[in-house]
Amino acid sequence: MRIVLVGPPGAGKGTQAAYLAKNLAIPHISTGDLFRANISQGTPLGVEAKSYMDAGNLVPDSVTIGMAEDRMEQADAADGFLLDGFPRNLGQAEALDAYLERKGLTLDAVLDLEVPEDEVVKRIAGRRICRKDSSHVFHVEYNKPAAEGVCDACGGELYQREDDREETVRKRLEVYHSETEPIIDYYKAQDLVVTIPALGKVAEVTQRAMHALGRGE
């Protein structure tokens, strides 16, 4: 299956992607995680991306599209993938369609995680991620690690993302509404969008998403 996850920052895309990718046996591809891995390794791509990310802006398409395509080219993505945080504007959605067309592939679904803005703000304020692997995501209240400040999955140190501070979050939400939301209509025109109410327990949301994909119990 080839699936795109959309939704505002803090909607729970990364959290859901981890479970969905496991259930569907496809890789979870998060452009945010790829950028953070580049930042922690100090690559030129990471250096370039960091200034945009810290300001709450999108990293330019000239950098992002190539990085996402390179990841989709890897062997583990040959039979499908779950995209999280890509595409994030119309240019990227068109580039993804062009890429899939070149490969003779299509998307199966676009899952739109719907969460009210006040909840998103609470989720982001308490989010803590792992220094070793930013796809390991926790929340100080809603999804606590067994030991405070320590990643359950790998023992890494948990920290608050620079761009999860209040001022930057406001900017990221603006960018979501102006640049990312239009892709939902773009995919509605292709009849691919399934809206998933994303309030409630993590496992309940996963169940709704699996059901929407025709893989529910």
Catalytically active residues, by annotation = 13, 88, 127, 161, 172
Asked if 28 contacts 21 with a C-beta cutoff of 8 angstroms, the reply is: yes
Which residue matches tokens 């994909």? 213
Judged by beta carbon, residue 164 or residue 196, the one nearer ligand AMP is 164
208 binds ligand AMP (CB under 6 A): no
User: Of 80-88, 108-116, 146-154, 196-204, which segment contacts ligand AMP by CB under 6 A?
Assistant: 80-88
15 lies in the binding site for ligand AMP (CB under 6 A):
no
172 binds, among ligand ADP, ligand AMP, none (CB under 5 to 8 A by kind): ligand AMP
Residues in the chain: 217
**Sequence-ordered alpha helix ranges (H) in 73-165:** 90-103, 117-125
The total of other beta-carbon atoms located within 10 Å of residue 43's CB is 13
Q: Which residues contact 190 (CB under 8 A, 6 or more apart)?
A: 107
**Residue 10 in contact with residue 116, Cβ under 8 Å?**
no
Q: Which does 27 bind (CB under 5 to 8 A by kind): ligand AMP, ligand ADP, none?
A: none
Instruction: Examine residue 9 and tell whether it contacts ligand AMP (CB under 6 A).
Output: yes
Distance between CA atoms of residues 212 and 111, nearest Å = 8
- Binding residues (CB under 6 A) for ligand ADP: these are 7, 9-15, 123, 126-127, 137-139, 142-143, 200-202, 205
- Binding residues (CB under 6 A) for ligand AMP: these are 9, 31-32, 35, 52-53, 56-59, 64, 85-86, 88, 92, 163, 172
